[in-house]
Amino acid sequence: MATKTVDRDQLCVNTIRTLSMDAVQAANSGHPGTPMAMAPVAYELWQNHLRFDPNDPIWPNRDRFVLSMGHASMLLYSMLHLTQVKAVNSAYESVGKVSVNLDDIKSFRQIDSRCPGHPEYRWTSGIETTTGPLGQGYATSVGMAIAGKWLGAHYNKPDFEMFNFRVYALGGDGCMMEGAAHEAASLAGHLRLDNLCWIYDNNKITIEGNTGWAFSEDVATRFIALGWNVTRVGDANDLAMLKRAFDNAKSTTGRPTLLIVDSHIAWGAPKLQDTHEAHGAPLGEEEIKGTKRNYGWPEDAKFLVPEEVLEHFKNGMGARGGKLRSEWMSLYEKYKGKYSKEADELIRIQKRQLPDGWDKELKPFPADAKGFAGRDCSGKVLNVLAKSVPWLIGGSADLAPSTKTRLTFEGADDFGPPGLAADPHHPTKIHYGGRNMHFGIREIAMGAVLNGMALTKVRPFGSGFFVFSDFSRPPIRLAAIMEIPVVYVFTHDSIGVGEDGPTHQPIEHLASLRAIPGLITLRPGDANEVLEAWKTIAKLRHEPVCLVLSRQNMPTLDRTKYASAEGVAKGAYVLADSKGKPDVILMATGTEVDLAVQAHAKLEKEGLKARIVSMPSWELFEHQDREYRDSVLPPDVKARVSIEAAGTFSWERYVGLTGESVGMRTFGASAPLKELQKKFGFTPDAVVEAAKRAIANNR
């Protein structure tokens, strides 16, 4: 059939739309409406503004594009295919093949396709972050913008602007309703991140119907109040106005930009133009034909990509991005000759490698019966480590004095826009090169921001009270899915919080985090275990970590009497043993390691042979081979006791059906620590009695 004459821009937009609707129809699953409505926005941004080289999608100074409304993934897959973004392997090398080919799009949402239902980082090159939960993409983009500011402040030199990239994130009404996005928007406005632009698809539709059911606030006014530059395009199809809006975002200084784009979901489909029916379901073959007819598209053609569309993107975005990357690489070669130390650091940052001699200043702690709180020795180790690893940066959700995560060495300074008067009574140096982050009381956003920073390859840490890991769990889970080495420092790890009571005493939190695949939890039992935990964390490249620390003191064990704390790297190790086969194995983490030590002495006096196993990390232990695991926990020793001031859920895997668990079976209570320990059975005598029961159970 004859087709209507369309200009080249419109041809590209319609190709994005038809690819999206065809893929969703073939899968019989997905969301075609938003990709169709936002196709002009994506086209204008990618073709005319985004500084991105399809031949090198990990070029460090590339602009970032985040699709916060991940259900519209076909929009992103269409762009990756049409711009011919190349795939990258784990050695950071472009492998030559296209990241998303037409067969991938044809198998959208099918097993092993490079086009899963929501964008997945590390699975498909060109995707900057995994997005699924609404609002998380927006929040993660703030971390990318923060990292961009930090990298520029540290590595830009006179005549060498190595980092000036921008971050764009596209989201919708659902993202705007989520608390993660609001927290992150508040932080971004405060930090004046003018390298950040959020695009808001204002289509007034969610799954249930019109947003009027649940959402009637004035988004523009809210963002103005948050310190953002706000601009609006009244018609998503108006490419000229979109260009003007993006130019405005790029020229704005001192404020992030919110670009509100009014759209009709599934624009172009006569039946669905003003409805929500296309939001979460295929259009149907007849509706697709009618829509294609309306575009002047061959209505029976499926997955049609005109050659001139590929050529147009190649000559536009491809040529521009290739030129920018080539110029950057030439600049880097000159930079390397003049600033060799910084150039070497940039390579290590990109490959997640540590500086030479990063651990030489990390010294063991001497034995000390009084010992340190886990948070205190962690603070000491962190400051030494961060001084040796210049790109280790982070902070807390307003709790640095309690979590001991403030970097105090000369030059650490505070991150923020120059001129920010944070506290006139305690002035500090504030600039975008500062290494102390202040996330405010925004735990959800903090987790997502840390993810964005890690995705930009700096090494971030964030801290808070362990009970508030509940707030951070969604971004922690995403970090595990993405395999990025974010560090979460959680203190006040048990009923040891004492008088603050049940709301602040974590009970089920260890079990909850241990349930996340790919996440490492570490609950060290004395100062040297904390030291070894940080050394282990520093070497990780693909695993996020939750370092769980005490508020109360832990005796620093005499390592001439007990096994070396280097066993922490293996997750669990024999801390102390008996002569001959043990009658019982005492397994403990954190502050309860000292309980095991005291109980061990009592059992030995009574003629019972006991082995102490310190188990700071189940996950690291499970990474060891069977031979090592059996050497620590011999299968033929069935009498076992777990000791942990937390819920006992899942300890069965180690104590078995005939073992005993000394732990929490209720929420805590408000009282001084010693009273709580007595009330809930965390005493040496209680451990001894549990050991005797375990022995009796296995006779």
Of 128, 178, 443, 592, catalytic: 443
- What's 157's DSSP letter? B
Quote the CA–CA distance of 80 and 678 in Å, as a whole number: 61
Q: What is the CA radius of gyration of the chain?
A: 28
Residue 308 catalytic?
A: no
Quote the CA–CA distance of 567 and 9 in Å, as a whole number: 61
Query: By the 8 A CB rule, do 148 and 470 touch?
Result: no
Q: Any idea of the CA torsion for 53, 59, 64, 66, to the nearest 10 degrees?
A: 90
- What's 562's DSSP letter? S
User: Which residues are bridge partners to 460 per DSSP?
Assistant: 393
Query: By the 8 A CB rule, do 335 and 157 touch?
Result: yes
Query: How many other C-beta atoms lie within 10 A of the C-beta of residue 256?
Result: 27
Query: How many other C-beta atoms lie within 10 A of the C-beta of residue 384?
Result: 17
| Vertex 15: Cα angle to 11 and 16 (nearest 5) | 120
Quote the CA–CA distance of 469 and 140 in Å, as a whole number: 17
- What's 195's DSSP letter? T
Query: By the 8 A CB rule, do 426 and 434 touch?
Result: no
Quote the CA–CA distance of 494 and 658 in Å, as a whole number: 26
Q: Which residue matches tokens 């994506």?
A: 42
Q: Any idea of the CA torsion for 39, 43, 49, 52, to the nearest 10 degrees?
A: 100
Q: How far apart are the first and last CA of the chain?
A: 85
User: Which residues are bridge partners to 196 per DSSP?
Assistant: 167
Quote the CA–CA distance of 25 and 32 in Å, as a whole number: 9
Which active-site residues does the annotation give?
443
